[in-house]
Structure 1
Amino acid sequence: MRKVAFVAGFAIGYVLGTKAGRERYEQIVRATKRVRENPTVQSTAGLVQAQVGRITEKGKDALSHTRLGAAVLGESEQYKASRYETPDHLPQGF
């Protein structure tokens, strides 16, 4: 179903794009370039990229303190007991 929707969207975009012609395409490219080169957009993109980096590192750190995370990240020797560890009074697997 997704593939059909993608192909249909591509076909519609192609038809509309060819009807609009090269001049409209060039207009869109120029507008996109102006937005991309805007200093405000660039600084905002830099801030967002830095924030995403911090969040990613926090998530990886939190995940590495779990057994699953240690296995996925390949850091099993660095696994530290934490609040995520199964308490001793529960059977394994819980």
Structure 2
Amino acid sequence: MSTYLDKKWTLDYPALGTEPVSTEPYLSPEFFALERERIFRRSWLCIGRVDEVPAPGDFFVKDIAACDASLLVTPFQDGEALLRHFYKVVTTSVR
């Protein structure tokens, strides 16, 4: 049984239509590449906790698939609650 509330969005926003929603944005490699660049590369991401690298010389590697990146995480200085990370960059020379 359809009520007014069921149709409210259709009445308020007729441009949205009532046809099925496209699945293309959810399956498209191009759309995913745009999401990676415009969302994940510009957002803060939790990559670990300070207690995971308690001493100088400790480290862990975090692969972040959404950014297509890998980070090496180490403590900043002994006794400080800071981490530093290094982004793996592969450089190639063109001759």
TM-score, with length taken from structure 2: 0.26
Q: Which has the higher contact order (CA 8 A, sep 6+)?
A: 2
Higher share in strand: 2
Higher share in helix: 1
